[in-house]
Structure 1
Amino acid sequence: MIKFFAARKVAAPLILSALFAFIITFQSCKKKRSETANILYKITHNKVYKDFTPEDYQVVFKQVFNAEKQKLTHAGVISGWYGSNHYEPVFVLNHLFNGDLSKAYDDYLMHAAEHGLSPEIFHADELKSAIEKLDNKNQVKTIDEAYRDIATLELSAANSLIDYSNALQYGVINPKYIYQRYYTATKRPDYSTMSAVFHIGDMHSYLEAVQPKDPQYIALQKALKNNYEENGFPGEECKRMILVNLERLRWRNKPSEDKYVIVNIPDYMLTVADSGKSVLKMKVCVGQGRNVDNKNTLLAYDDTCKVDKPGDHETPLLNSLIYGVEVNPVWNIPRSIANKEIIVQAAKDKFYLENNNIDVYKDDKLVDNPEDIDWTNITKENLPYDFKQKPGSSNSLGLIKFIFNNKSNVYLHDTPVKSAFYRKMRAISHGCIRLGDPKGLAQNLFGDGDQFKTISDDMGQDNPDPTTIYLPKKTPVYITYVTCWADEDGKLQFRNDVYGLDIVLYDHLQKILQPGSH
């Protein structure tokens, strides 16, 4: 009995403390309820809102959410935020009655065409309808109707603003989902970035902040508005090229470093940029493309072009870090090239391998006298050999290659075939990028010190040996695909869609912008 009473003496203060905390919490919730009700009544002078309680509103909100969930692009984000924030009607309280949401609709959503987009993809009509219903302060007749209309507007505003913000800051399409050889780091919206719409202070400032500011983007917007037309490209095709390249500019995959190397595949050009300026340009040859004859355009393309089906030798889109060079490199000939070219040539001419400085290996051991092999009996199905081309002036990689990690085993390199750089169409390689001025790139990256002198001297040797030289500071490299841009003089440049990637992107955009047409 003594223990029992002692326990009761200990427990009694705890019970009283818990009860006191409950009373305080209850009073706080009650105060919060009255605050929301008072705010809504004060703004609308509609007595219906005096009966507003967060608990009852929460029940209706969940019902409306479940009914509308399939229409919400990011239902999980919306549900998560409201669930963590007591289902507070932030858009009604902060942005409805002061006209913010109406201005967002009028000044931004309805001007989506300026970005090559459509108000429909931002559910503009649904938002307008929800605004008009609640903005008419006397139209709400019952508290149940008020709950439902408030919940509808909250969901509609959240959905529209998240989609609009995502589209302008990240693009409407994830390139990784539509391209087979896309290996460029590309930032996508996450919960943190999307939930920013619930914390908007000034709506105009927020929507201005998400507008793309890149001068390239603004130049293409201006061209789109003025129906720009380029010689050799019909007006409608120019428009479509501008649309797809506006979308590319919205992707968060652009260089952020002060200095970087960038290759634009359709332009067959490499540029070294430093502190926002071009400090080196050169012609390049890129991988063979499926649309080199420009048979398919954005005005007329086969249905088979809608899905990305890259050719065997197309150069991938990627970003990486150049960490060094190999001077007088050995070329480890890929199996695909060995199957299609090396064994075919060896079967025609038994001295082909020797004349081209190609060594043959079997089980990692050098094969003596490869000309004695009956290459006419060797096929890709029974090929037991590997091939390496020795350093020298006839080496397919030339005298130097620039190395960077990537999944596709491609690199930038010299070439003994200089005549290719005089061609207009230079999508001719097996996937790697041939450089018009490899020594110039080495000098730019390494500077004029001892390392570059070693590179220059080794490239001039008659009987060279492979040498690897590492960069003191790694340099970012971006391999991109852009078919329309403003040059340094502000003039729009257009290039043929050599890989058909414009077509793939345009068709996916149309599925979003005009879903009924597909």
Structure 2
Amino acid sequence: MILLNKINFKSYWHGLMLGMCAILLLTFESCKHTKRSDMAQTIYDVNKNKAFNKVTEEGFQPVFQKILAEKKSGLKNPVLITTFYKDNGYDPVLVLDHMKGEDLKTLATYLKKSGEHGLNPKIFQADEVNSLVDKFYSKDAIKTTEEAYETMARLEVALANSLINYTNSLQYGLISPRKIYARYYTETKRPDSTSMKKVFAIADMKSFLDSVQPKNPQYIALQKALAANVQVPGQTAEETERMLKVNLERLRWKNKPTADKYVIVNIPDYRLDVMEGGKSVMNMKVCVGEGRNIDRSADLTEYDESDKVDRPFSRETPQLNSAIYTAQVNPVWNIPKSIATKEIMVAAAQDPYYLSNHNMAVYKNGKEIEDSETIDWSSAGPNDYEFKQRPGDDNALGKIKFLFKNSSSVYLHDTPAKLAFNKPMRAVSHGCVRVERPLDLAHALFGDGTKYETIKNDMASGSAEPKNVDLSKKVPVYLTYVTCWADENGTLQFRPDVYGLDVVLLAHLNKYLTA
């Protein structure tokens, strides 16, 4: 009897669970698509066009499927859009959920005004959306049920495509920098399917569109300058406009520092800042890598079509984000192969005392050669030797270097060549960043205490032995590239496009008009 009760209870529980699952499945399916049995009346109440009096959900679906297939190749996110409508019974959610009030007209207006963000309205098919919206709301522009279906279908597709593209562009940027720049190593968040699908559930269009407007004060300052047609002295109005547009795009990229304390180097400004709590607590001049655009440093002359592909000069400082984890006092310079081949070996061939005079050691197969003066450099291959410069007053890295992980073997470091800091154009290094006041940077990173005192004393002593001093807490470091911004007084600052990266970005922004 007890066993029977257990069996009955088990059967009962199993049946109950199956029933609950079925209810949940039905509920989920019903949430995915709600029947619109009153479609005709709902639309007619809004636009008073009799051509919509006989439209039905069943009649609309095949027309919508046809238009979706026809337009698919022109959509920026074709799989996401077509899958969404397939999963939701080809319901024109954007048209039907937003046709009352001013929502659709508001979207059309915002798309037409995208030029305020430095973006061409053509990118978002602003004219097409505006034309379709006007046609949909007209009492007599649509004459037949078939035309009503087609107009509504084309409008729904255009709304979905343009709304997603506009939202993505303002929240994440139109361009992915990692796809257009050869030496860009800053992680940049891009939109995903979850964020894009949110547009189909918007409650109020204007509130949503206002919410995606970037709120960064820097962004707003550049927007205002663009609207006011600000012109930089010595540049044409067109050149200034281009600088504003590309830097607005940079501000839209989701890759900005979020830590309370970090180090940031702006390559075109030749400046390093230590930031805390959103404010610069210390800044200094830097020297950065040589760039491809030295001769064009005062303008934004467009490159030809082939230069839309980024081809950086070998010595350009890369854009990256990492974290400073240690300082090496009285460092050894492990000379990169490119410098060794193109410079060191050439100089050694011309002067047998060059290596000893510059405190450099030469290695073959990992073993130091005691008498480098005996080497026959005329027969030496580019991979035969390795070079290191020992610590000392003439070491190219000076008294200290600050290390952070990166794939380009760059770091922040001191330098014995101090005169370069007095020059206005400081793109002169091999790629690393030379800092003007390295001891001050060490103090800003380590603070008061034993580690800073060790650094200070060892730098002063000029020890022949390198010493690593680790940071207790890593400090983020950003090497970035910004040619236009508003300073703390609200004054716009412009810097020459020393690496030509503005031009590369502008070329890709313009490509969207012909894509």
Q: TM over 0.5, yes or no? A: yes
Select the residue among 327, 346, 349 that pairs with 1:347.
349
Structure 2: which amino acid aligns with 1:386?
A: E
Cα offset for 1:483? Answer: 1.0
The partner residue of 1:69 within 54, 69, 72 is 72
Structure 1 residue 286 displacement after superposition: 0.4
1:83 matched to 2:89? The reply is no
1:461 and 2:461 aligned: yes
Q: Which residue of 1 aligns with 2:227?
A: 225
**Counterparts of 1:15-414 in structure 2 under 5 Å?**
32-36=35-39, 39-40=42-43, 43=46, 52-106=55-109, 108-137=110-139, 140-294=142-296, 297-299=299-301, 301-302=303-304, 305-380=307-382, 383-414=383-414
1:33 Cα deviation after fit: 4.3
Corresponding letter in the other structure for 1:67: E
The CA deviation string for residues 81-127 of structure 1, in whole angstroms up to 9 with x for no partner, is: 22222322211222123221112212x11211211222211111221
Cα offset for 1:58? 2.5
Question: In 1, Cα distance between the equivalents of 2:385 and 2:62?
Answer: 71
Identity, % of aligned positions: 54
Which whole-Å CA distance do the structure 2 matches of 1:409 and 1:463 have between them? 24
Mapping for residues 445-456 of structure 1, pairs under 5 Å: 445-456=445-456
Secondary structure of 1:293's aligned partner: helix
Amino acid at match of 2:255: N
- Alpha-carbon distance in 2 for matches of 1:346, 1:232: 45
Moved more, 88-97 or 142-151: 142-151
1:500 positional shift: 0.9
Secondary structure at the aligned position of 2:35 is classed as helix
Q: TM-score, normalised by structure 1?
A: 0.89
- 1 CA distance for matches of 2:461 and 2:455? 10
Is the Cα–Cα contact under 8 Å of residues 298 and 506 in structure 1 kept in the other structure? no
Q: Is 2:481 the counterpart of 1:488?
A: no
Question: How far apart, in 2, do the equivalents of 1:73 and 1:305 lie?
Answer: 25
1:376 offset after TM fit, Å? 3.2
How many residues are treated as equivalent by the alignment? 494
Secondary structure of 2:175's counterpart equals coil
Deviations 1:324-359 (A, max 9, x none): 111111111111000011111111121211121111
Name the CA distance, whole Å, in 1 between partners of 2:273 and 2:339: 29
Which stretch of structure 1 is more off in the superposition, 197-206 or 251-260? Answer: 251-260
1:508 shift after superposition: 2.0
Deviates more, 1:332-341 or 1:466-475: 466-475
Q: Where does 1:471-486 land on structure 2 (aligned, <5 Å)?
A: 471-486=471-486
Range with greater deviation from structure 2 (456-465 or 500-509): 456-465
1:374-406 per-residue CA deviation (whole Å, 9 max, x = no partner) reads 2233242xx411111111221111111111111
Inter-partner Cα distance in structure 2 for 1:31 and 1:410: 58
Q: How big is the shift at 1:134?
A: 2.1
Please state how far the C-alpha of 1:511 moved relative to its aligned partner: 2.5
Quote the Cα distance in structure 1 between the aligned partners of 2:147 and 2:129: 17
Q: Is the 8 A contact 1:305 1:500 kept in 2?
A: no
Q: Distance in 2 between matches of 1:348 and 1:119?
A: 60
Contact residue 321 and residue 477 of structure 1 kept, 8 A: yes
For residue 193 of structure 1, report the CA deviation from its aligned partner.
Answer: 1.4
Gap change, CA 1:25 and 1:424, over 3 Å in 2: closer
- The C-alpha deviation readout for 1:13-43, integer Å capped at 9, x for no partner, is x9xx99xx89x979x8999342545544554
Q: For structure 1, which segment, 407-416 or 305-314, has the greater mean C-alpha deviation from structure 2 after superposition?
A: 305-314
CA gap 1:469/1:203 in 2 versus in 1, 3 angstroms: same
* Cα distance in 1 between the residues matched to 2:141 and 2:227: 40
TM-superposed CA distance for 1:318, in Å, is: 0.8
Change (3 A) 1:404 1:40: same
After TM superposition, give the deviation of residue 414 of structure 1 in Å: 0.8
Aligned to 1:427: 427
1:82 is aligned with what amino acid? Y
What is the TM-score normalised by the length of structure 2?
Answer: 0.89
Does structure 2 conserve the Cα–Cα contact (< 8 Å) formed by 1:262 and 1:477? yes
Q: Distance in 2 between matches of 1:390 and 1:364?
A: 16
Give, in whole Å, the separation in 1 of the partners of 2:235 and 2:52: 60
How much does 1:76 deviate? 1.4
Structure 2 SS opposite 1:246: helix
Structure 2 SS opposite 1:213: coil
Tell me whether 200-209 or 360-369 shows the greater mean CA deviation: 360-369
* Contact 2:185 2:318 (C-alpha < 8 Å) held by counterparts: yes
For residue 261 of structure 1, what is the amino acid of its counterpart?
Answer: V
State the secondary structure of the residue aligned to 2:387: strand
Larger mean Cα displacement after TM superposition, 456-465 or 486-495: 456-465
Distance 2:79 2:234 in 1: 47
For 1:3, the equivalent position in structure 2 comes to none
1:462: how far off?
3.4
Query: What is the CA distance between 1:143 and its match in structure 2?
Result: 4.2
Counterpart Cα distance in 2 of 1:31 and 1:72 = 26
44-53 vs 188-197, greater mean Cα deviation: 44-53
